[in-house]
Structure formats: structure tokens, C-alpha cells
Structure 1
Amino acid sequence: MIEAVMLWNEPNNKSHWNPELDPDWSIYADTVIRAGRAIRSVNPSVKRVLGGMSPIDPHWTNRMRAHGALDEVDVVAVHGFPLDWNLWPIHAWPDKIAEIEAVVPDKEIWATEVGVGSFGAEEVQQFGVEKTAELLIGRVPNVYWYSLFDLPQSWGAETRHREAEGSSYYRHFYMGLIREDGTPKPGLEAYRPFADRMGLMQWFHFHDPRLDDAVRWMSELGVRKLRTGLSWADSFRPDALDWFDRQMEALAPFDTLVTFCFTPEHLGVEAHHTSPAREPQAFADWCQQMVERYAPATATPPRIGVPA
């Protein structure tokens, strides 16, 4: 059910990893090393992906190499939103990829979160889909468009610095190809010709009511590759394994890249999901359990619904 695992999401962005608690990213690197080794011990065929960086930063990538983290991953991932948040034009995508290739010529580079929102005009998103596909399909092995669905207004975006983002915070709610009310935007039809070559990135919240609709839409579009996440913090909720099983079983038709992230409050250096864990090995142990459950190195499929 899992072809690759990403170790955290945007660890060089304070929305997802608190740099005040780990200013040189040495704790994050240790976390990657431990988790990467744990995953490899279960199934060496599962690709290990460094947490998708945002901003795209070769200096941060070199820091990861100096800390030894790149020794325990197979892929280096980048995220980019040039028409919404990044201070570079969409046509610079090949140059941004080349910046990372220059410092990690020994790794695959994947674009695991790319997107253009419809906040200003839906026609801008339509253009963004087409231009992103033109620039990235064939340039890197895997591309994932963020996202299939708009984020519901009542849910709130996962960001530590909402106030600092100002009005751009509201762009978080317009990144989908399908509106909150379930109707498609023009961008969906722009995406359709590329669905078999440009995957989708879609987060699913705990007991997300959109799961079945997502599978239906992706099947109808002909999507082959999906990036999603499993939350370490959610794993401590009641019936968490039942939800994880349901999610992963529903997504079984797709080649799935799963992001493991979000620290349980009681296990963090501080009580926040962006905090480093007090014991990074605890995260590695959980990653190992999830890979054993959903991507075991065996010809026998896992028995969903059976406790590990």
C-alpha cells in the first residue's frame, strides 16, 4: 500500500518544525537517520524521502548532508508555490530543481507538493496547472499537485504563523481543484490530461468525510500516484488504527507516498505538533510499526483491521 515514506513535512518551514527548538536541524537530522534505518530494516524496497523542503534551499540540503541525514534517504523532495507564496516566477521551476540537483547528484529529486491557488482568479489556477505540468513532467520522476480539494473554511490551515502571513493566509483555502461545496473548478479539467503523470497531494484529517469522494474523483480522473499523510499525533486518539486501516485500504488502488509527521503533544520538547520529539527514537519506532502494517516486505498482503 506504500511505495515511499516521507519523513516529516516541510521541516525547514516553521509552520511544521519549530526552529527555535532545533536551530541547526540536528534533532531533525537525527530523527531522519533513526526513522530511515527503521524503515529500511522492515522493507528496503520502500523509498525513504527527506521531508519536502519549503523554501527550496540548497544550503539547508547541504546541512542535512553534513548531519548525515542524506545517508538514510533515497529521495530529496521540494515544494513550490510560485504564484502564491514563493518569491520566484513559475518559469523558474527547472532552475529550482537544478539548484538541488547540484548539491545532491546522488539522489532522486521529487516535486512532492506543487500548486497554484484560485484565490485571485480561477483562470490563474488553470494556467498554473498547465504550466507546472509543462515544466516538471519529465523533468523529475514524480510530481504531486496540491491539492484535490479546497480546505474547508471552518477547519483552519496547519501553520504556526497565521498572523505573519496576513491576507495570504486565506490562500490556503483555495488550493484545491474542487471547491468546498464539491463542484469542480476549471483547473480540474486542465489537470485531467496530466492525471496519469502528475499525481495528487491530499491530506486527510482524522475521520475525514471526504475520503470516499477523493477516491471516486481520483479513479475517474485516472490518477495513479497519491501523496498523503499519517499523523503520529493522531495515533494516540481512540480507534486510531481503525481509521488508519480504513484510509489506507481506500487508497490501496494508488501508488502512495505517505508522509509521517506531527509530534504528539505529550512526547514533544514542547506540547505542540511542530515540536521535535524528546526521544527521536519514538518516532522511528512508530514509523517502523506503520511500515510493518502497510508495506511489509512479504508477498502476503497485510490483514487490514487486525491489530498489529
Structure 2
Amino acid sequence: MIEATMIWNEPNNKSHWDPELDPDWSQFARMAMLAADAIGAKNPDLIRVLGGISPIDPHFITRMRDFGVLDHLDAVAVHGFPLDWNLWQIHEWPAKIDEIRAVTDLPVWVSEVGVSTFGAEEVQLWGLKRTAELLKGKVERCQWYSLYDLPRAWEATTRHREAEGSSYYRHYYMGLLREDGTPKPAFDEFVRHTPELGLVQWFHFEDPRLTDAVNWMKRLGVKSVRTGLSWADRFRPNALDWFDRQMRALEDFDVTVTFCFTPEHRGIGAHHTSPPFVPEEFAAFCSEMVERYAPRQTERPARGGSRSAVRPLALETSPTFGSR
């Protein structure tokens, strides 16, 4: 069951939103408000969450507040990887949460936290234990990234890819399961923290791991799952067939679905991090997905205004959710 929608992923991270095309985030703010209102018009009971920020930056949240974005949302989210990518230490987690709570009264979700096994699998095991100590029961939602390692044959969804050096390759080692599906040492530790800890798993277009992933998550005792539906994937052949299979497979979980990724032919720049030419088109995609997978169950006034639907345009190749 879809219980929450997340608008974009790491909008303050240049790997997911182009700061050169939107240096003050005003275009993102407008798109986010349109999307939130479109979601609310289709189902006012869904929780609407600002895409998890990375880095954790209270100034970005303040910026969104000043634009009025937070008035359209029910929660904000943060992502943290202090043992892999961040310039702060793991014991600083409580202080990082307090920084965000100081600038908004909305609930704060940790919608991605994880530790790679890039250096050693024992590091992930220790990091999971310490993360659970610091965050479990301390925030409104906490979701571990991720279930699977990213297959080495796939590209991680970042702008600069191998030019990022070892930072790029850490994307491939974030799972509780290795690429071949065998559990790492942290797997058994994770069982001790469910259902309080949820999981994040991005699924590649027509991902062959989908059924196995559902079985593993049930074995782990997971209740809360975060995944994504890609606006760019909407233009692929048989996109809705794949979306249907993915959402049907996850229907036993409490799902947060992230709407993200600009189709190359609909962006100001020809890449998935670009602001769209017409932000109403992203809002229309969000509306279509909610109407299809999480329609309102009873008639009641929506909190946001409805937006007219925009039909998908010409087919283009597009990025997919293969990683964070």
C-alpha cells in the first residue's frame, strides 16, 4: 500500500538537480509545489514529503520554507552517509537532525542512511549497529539504503560517474545482499531492527530482482519500503506494464514512492537532473501515478489544487532507478 509520496530525490545535490540551471532553486520550488498540490488533489490522505536532502543543509530547508514549499508538504527528509560520503562523523546524527528541526515544525524523516562495504563488510556491520543506536525511535521514519548491491554491469545514477573516483564505486557496495544475492554480515543484524527500520531499494526498469527482493524483505521483517517511479521511464515502451508489476509486488508493504528524473527531451538541459521546460508536466506525472496506484478511498476535500493532465510526449531513452 502506498502511504507516502516523495517529491524528487536529493534536490540539493548536483547529481540529482542541476545548480547551474537553477542556482536559487526557485524552479525546483515551483515544480515541487505543483507536484504536491497535484498529489493532494488525487489523494489528500497520502503523506507528501520533500525529497530527502543530501547534504543535510538547514539553509536549503529554510529556502524551501521561504518559497512556500513547506506549506504544501507533510514532512521533510534527510539522507546521511557519514562513513562514506559526508564530511561529518556518525555520532553527529542527533545534531544533524536537530539542525533541521530548528528550521521547520514538520516531521523529519531519515529516508536514506547506509554504510558501504567498499572497504570491508565489517564496517557496514558496525555502522548499522551504531546507526540503529542513534536513530531508531528518534525520528519519525528511518530507512536503510539498501537491500541489494548495485550490479557492476549497471551505471550508478550520478552526473559525473567514474570521474568521482572512489566515491562513485561506493554506490556498488551499499546492499545487505551482495550482487549474487548472498547475505553480508550486516543482514542478520538488520533483522534485529525491523520493523522499526525500513528499507530503500531502487528498482531498475524491468528489474529481474523484483520478486527475490520482495521475498528477502519479508524474510527480514520489513514493513516500510521506499522505492521510485521514474518520470523519465514513463516514456519507455511498456512503462506502465513495468510500473504495474512493481507496485503490485510491493503492495504488502507500507510504500513511500519517490517521483524523480527529468526525461531528456523535457528538460532545459538534456539530462535527468535538469529542471523541466514545463513543471506542470512533472506534476501531471505525479497525478497520473497517484490516480493509478493510490487513488483516494473516500470523497473528501483535497488540501491542494488540481492540475490539468499533460500526456506523455515523444519516446526517448531515459535514465532509470538503478541506484541512488
Bin the TM-score by the shorter chain: over 0.9
Partner of 1:74: 74
Partner of 2:14: 14
Q: How far is 1:163 from its partner?
A: 4.5
2:194 and 2:215 map into 1 onto residues whose CA distance is 14
- Which runs of no fewer than 5 residues in structure 1 stay unpaired? 300-308
Name the aligned partner's letter for residue 265 of structure 1. Answer: E
Q: Secondary structure at the match of 1:64?
A: helix
Q: Secondary structure at the match of 2:8?
A: strand
Per-residue CA deviations over 1:214-273 (Å, capped at 9, x if unaligned) read: 000011111000000000000111111110000000000000000000011111111111
Name the aligned partner's letter for residue 279 of structure 1. Answer: V
Q: How far is 1:161 from its partner?
A: 2.5
Partner of 1:255: 254
Partner of 2:239: 240
2:167 and 2:268 map into 1 onto residues whose CA distance is 30
Partner of 1:126: 125
Q: Secondary structure at the match of 2:32?
A: helix
Partner of 2:180: 181
Partner of 1:62: 62
1:297 and 1:2 map into 2 onto residues whose CA distance is 11
1:117 and 1:195 map into 2 onto residues whose CA distance is 20
Distance 1:242 1:163, change over 3 A: closer
Aligned length: 299
Q: How does 1:265-284 map to 2 (within 5 A)?
A: 265-284=264-283
Partner of 1:41: 41
Name the aligned partner's letter for residue 74 of structure 1. Answer: D
Partner of 1:215: 214
2:49 and 2:167 map into 1 onto residues whose CA distance is 29
Q: How far is 1:129 from its partner?
A: 0.8
Partner of 2:315: none
Q: Does residue 1:85 correspond to 2:85, yes or no? A: yes
2:5 and 2:49 map into 1 onto residues whose CA distance is 6
1:230 and 1:36 map into 2 onto residues whose CA distance is 16
1:60 and 1:219 map into 2 onto residues whose CA distance is 36
Q: How far is 1:59 from its partner?
A: 0.6
- Which runs of no fewer than 5 residues in structure 2 stay unpaired? 299-324
Partner of 2:53: 53
1:226 and 1:236 map into 2 onto residues whose CA distance is 25
Name which of structure 1's ranges 5-14 and 157-166 shifts more when overlaid on structure 2: 157-166
Name the aligned partner's letter for residue 18 of structure 2. Answer: N
Query: TM-score if structure 2 supplies the norm length?
Result: 0.91
Q: How does 1:71-220 map to 2 (within 5 A)?
A: 71-104=71-104, 106-220=105-219
1:287 and 1:72 map into 2 onto residues whose CA distance is 15
Name the aligned partner's letter for residue 185 of structure 2. Answer: P
Partner of 1:304: none
Q: How far is 1:165 from its partner?
A: 2.2
Name the aligned partner's letter for residue 237 of structure 2. Answer: P
2:133 and 2:244 map into 1 onto residues whose CA distance is 36
Name the aligned partner's letter for residue 92 of structure 1. Answer: E
Name the aligned partner's letter for residue 201 of structure 2. Answer: Q
Q: How far is 1:164 from its partner?
A: 4.6
2:116 and 2:106 map into 1 onto residues whose CA distance is 30
Distance 1:103 1:194, change over 3 A: same
Name the aligned partner's letter for residue 39 of structure 1. Answer: I
Partner of 2:291: 292
Q: Secondary structure at the match of 1:6?
A: strand
Which stretches of structure 1, 4 residues or more, deviate above 6 A after TM superposition? none
Q: How far is 1:168 from its partner?
A: 2.1
